[in-house]
Structure 1
């Protein structure tokens, strides 16, 4: 992938990490160009957003401040990792789950 493709996809790659609404916006804006850099970050952000909702549902039923804070810190770090990768032009996969997200959402951006 050349630097021009990465530079064109940085903005939408960043937008993808701004909640699930941002992921949808980036997805629809990327439909015309099909930028592979943006598609990569859309897949990562979508997987992270869905995982956040699923685990958040379980954590909210536990009613423990310590578990809730750990959950928030964990996902904040993962989102910042993704955002940093998008802004610096790197295709950093989310640790442990990035490959799974890429395989699961492989049809996005093709």
Structure 2
């Protein structure tokens, strides 16, 4: 990927990791001029958001810190990896699930 394309999409890529609303803001920022770097990170950010919501819905049925703490740590580690990758200008998928996010969310800008 060209360096100028990475620089042009870096703000959008970083915005996509603001869980929840950030993905939708990044999608609107990337709607006119499609940037491949930003699109990659939008898919990663959306995947992380969906994973967070899904795990949260499942784990909220249990009232135990021993069950919910690992979920928060897992999501935080993946989020940290993703946002660090966006800041550095790299297109490395998040561990474990990143390749699946790219495959499942291929139609997302």
Specify the TM-score bucket, using the shorter chain as the normaliser: over 0.9
Normalising by structure 1, report the TM-score: 0.95
- Following the alignment from structure 1 to structure 2, what is the Cα–Cα distance between the partners of residues 37 and 19? 18
Match of 1:102 in 2: 102
Q: How far does the alpha carbon of each residue in 1:13-52 deviate from its partner, in whole angstroms, 9 at most, with x for none?
A: 0100001210000001101110000000000110110011
Match of 1:25 in 2: 25
Match of 1:4 in 2: 4
Q: Does 1:50 align with 2:36?
A: no
Instruction: Say which SS state the counterpart of residue 61 (structure 2) adopts.
Output: helix
- Following the alignment from structure 1 to structure 2, what is the Cα–Cα distance between the partners of residues 58 and 107? 27
Unaligned runs of 5+ in 1: none
- Following the alignment from structure 1 to structure 2, what is the Cα–Cα distance between the partners of residues 46 and 6? 19
Unaligned runs of 5+ in 2: none
Moved over 2 A (4+): none
> 1:33-44 residue pairs with structure 2 within 5 A?
33-44=33-44
Q: How many residues align?
A: 109
> 1:81-92 residue pairs with structure 2 within 5 A?
81-92=81-92
Give the drift of 1:102.
Answer: 0.6
Normalising by structure 2, report the TM-score: 0.96
Q: CA RMSD in A?
A: 0.8
Q: Return the structure number with greater helix share.
A: 1
Instruction: Say which SS state the counterpart of residue 103 (structure 1) adopts.
Output: helix
